[in-house]
């Protein structure tokens, strides 16, 4: 009997890939649960497997203490020494409990406990074995389908291939062999704990390691990979040896190496790109097969790039449904904004037009007070054109601007653009131009008058003006002619002065 029971324990341990001691411990715990349920006691019970008899004995365990506080779990020294003369404080007294009276219900309870314990031990064993193998390539066999998910056989255990981890263009048949990567190990899952994937980019990397010896020995490294399962994959490779071409090593002679990987992926396209430490150069290569004109980093902190391509290359750079630029962005880890040269040219023209366009100051608005204008300018709105392009919600976000003030501002803007403000500005500019013209003419007349006053005919013209203007004008002219006669005597005095100096 003992040998038969122990043989069953060993067979179960081999089948479940667990240690025999775990099975024995599960049997002992099961007998304790069955005995407690039968005896309906709160005593501390302990089971022990007897390898000689093949039986599991159940004992009531009581701790020896000086003063008993819990009679179901403690025993005094005097009572303990009646059963065991060598008993001391802190030792344990074991009392055997009959197990042959447990019955059928207790046996069913023990069976359920044994199965549960063995199942938990098996799951712990699977987790300990596979949680360090995440990302490893394994070969599985499709066993059955559970809804959209597939259950595959890994040999020692089953694994789950969820719908999200399946390639979109692939179909799977029962009994088919697949190469998958271990995606994760879920310890709390009710079904299979191991989750495998056919859609992860790590699958492509593991396949390259199998097909390319240079990658396996570390001469060529896969620095990054981005994948859209069933459609396209981009792989960035780098060579640690200058004499080894990383792209050529991955492609192989006449493309044999990469073609075998494409067949395994059911025709999925693969772009092999040389890796570069420089972001600009890496982005240009990542967008292949499109030819990039230039790349500019717009926001280094947010990792944003602006890529300019020729008009004929725009659709190729973007790819089908944006696939090419999306994969390139995943590969380099930067957000890519692609523009054609025509779009960039129009954008620059609009910016230049905005910079050179005339702006009207906010003070041109009639009916808007200076305090309100100060609040608007504090929000960064410095021209009437900017103000006209704002919505009421945007205006109300400015501190100190309410609904009534928004209506007042819009009325002032409408009045300005209806013609009142523009006409006033035009009239003001016209008046300014006429005033400046009159000032120029008066200045010219003054210059001509002073020139005539210095000539020999100045006295004659003054005399004629006196006769025509009357007495008042003659008095003024006489007053003006007196100082005019003084500079006329200067030419006569200059030669005399020169003669004296020469003498």
User: 486: number of CA atoms within 13 Å, CB side?
Assistant: 4
- Examine the pLDDT at 328 and tell me if it is beyond 90: yes
**Global pTM value:** 0.60
- Examine the pLDDT at 233 and tell me if it is beyond 60: yes
pLDDT at 276: 92
- Examine the pLDDT at 488 and tell me if it is beyond 90: no
pLDDT at 2: 52
In Å, how far from its chain's centre is CA 287? 20
pLDDT at 470: 42
Residues paired with 91 in a beta bridge? none
Supply 73's token pair. Answer: 């779990």
Helices first, then strands: H and E counts in the chain: 19, 15
Q: Using alpha carbons only, what angle is made at residue 493 by residues 488 and 495, rounded to the nearest 5 degrees?
A: 120
Indicate the range of 272-276, 381-385, 403-407, 408-412 predicted with least confidence. Answer: 381-385
For 113-131, write each residue's pLDDT tens digit.
888 888 888 888 888 889 8
Supply 337's token pair. Answer: 């904004």
Q: Cβ atoms within 10 A of the Cβ of 226, count? A: 21
Which own/partner pairs from 386-395 qualify as long-range (CB within 8 Å, at least 24 positions apart)? Answer: 387/362, 387/413, 388/413, 388/417
Q: What distances in angstroms separate CA 271 from CA 250, 283, 317, 328, one per listed residue?
A: 11, 14, 14, 10
For 437-477, write each residue's pLDDT tens digit.
443 344 444 444 444 444 433 333 333 433 433 443 333 33
For 157-199, write each residue's pLDDT tens digit.
899 999 999 988 888 999 999 999 999 998 877 778 899 999 9
Give the whole-angstrom CA distance, residue 355 versus residue 342: 20
For 338-361, write each residue's pLDDT tens digit.
998 888 888 888 778 766 656 777
pLDDT at 358: 64
Q: Using alpha carbons only, what angle is made at residue 338 by residues 333 and 344, rounded to the nearest 5 degrees?
A: 140
Q: Cβ atoms within 10 A of the Cβ of 111, count? A: 12
Spatial contact of 296 and 326, defined as CB atoms under 8 Å apart: no
pLDDT at 466: 39
């Amino acid at each position: 009997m003992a040998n038969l029971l122990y043989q069953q324990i060993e067979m179960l341990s081999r089948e479940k890939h667990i240690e025999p001691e775990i099975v024995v411990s599960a049997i002992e715990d099961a007998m304790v649960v069955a005995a407690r349920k039968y005896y309906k006691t709160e005593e501390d019970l302990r089971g022990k497997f007897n390898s000689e008899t093949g039986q599991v004995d159940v004992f009531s365990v009581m701790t020896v203490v000086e003063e008993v506080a819990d009679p179901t779990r403690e025993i005094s020294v005097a009572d303990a020494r009646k059963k065991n003369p060598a008993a001391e404080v802190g030792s344990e007294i074991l009392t055997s409990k009959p197990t042959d009276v447990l019955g059928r219900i207790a046996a069913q309870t023990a069976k359920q406990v044994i199965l549960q314990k063995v199942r938990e031990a098996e799951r712990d064993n699977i987790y300990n074995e596979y949680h360090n193998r995440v990302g490893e390539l394994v070969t599985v066999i499709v066993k059955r389908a559970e809804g959209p998910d597939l259950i595959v056989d890994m040999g020692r255990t089953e694994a789950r291939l969820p719908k999200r981890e399946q390639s979109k263009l692939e179909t799977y048949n029962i009994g088919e062999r697949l190469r998958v990567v271990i995606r994760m190990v879920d310890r709390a899952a009710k079904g299979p704990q191991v989750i495998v994937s056919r859609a992860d980019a790590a699958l492509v990397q593991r396949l390259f390691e199998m097909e390319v010896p240079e990658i396996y020995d570390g001469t060529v490294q896969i620095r990054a990979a981005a994948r859209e399962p069933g459609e396209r994959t981009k792989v960035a490779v780098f060579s640690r040896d200058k004499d080894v071409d990383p792209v050529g090593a991955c492609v192989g002679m006449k493309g044999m190496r990469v073609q075998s990987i494409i067949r395994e992926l059911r025709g999925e396209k693969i772009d092999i790109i040389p890796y570069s430490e420089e972001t600009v150069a890496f982005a240009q290569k990542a967008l292949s097969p499109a030819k990039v004109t230039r790349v500019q980093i717009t926001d280094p902190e947010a990792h944003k790039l602006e890529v300019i391509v020729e008009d004929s290359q725009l659709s190729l750079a973007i790819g089908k449904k944006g696939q090419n630029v999306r994969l390139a962005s995943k590969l380099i880890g930067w957000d890519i904004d692609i523009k054609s040269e025509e779009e960039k040219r129009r954008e620059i023209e609009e910016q230049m037009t905005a910079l050179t366009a005339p702006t009207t100051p906010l003070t041109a608005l009639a009916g808007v007070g200076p305090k309100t204008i100060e609040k608007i300018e504090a929000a960064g709105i410095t021209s009437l054109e900017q103000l006209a392009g704002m919505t009421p919600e945007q205006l109300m976000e400015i501190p100190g601007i309410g609904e009534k003030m928004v209506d007042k501002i819009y009325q002032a803007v409408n009045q300005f653009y209806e013609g009142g403000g523009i006409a006033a500005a035009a009239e003001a500019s016209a008046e300014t131009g006429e005033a400046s013209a009159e000032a120029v003419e008066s200045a010219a007349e003054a210059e001509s008058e002073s020139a005539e006053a210095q000539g020999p005919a100045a006295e004659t013209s003054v005399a004629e003006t006196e006769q025509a203007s009357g007495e008042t004008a003659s008095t003024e002219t006489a007053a003006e002619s007196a100082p005019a006669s003084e500079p006329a005597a200067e030419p006569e005095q200059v030669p005399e002065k020169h003669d004296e100096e020469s003498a």
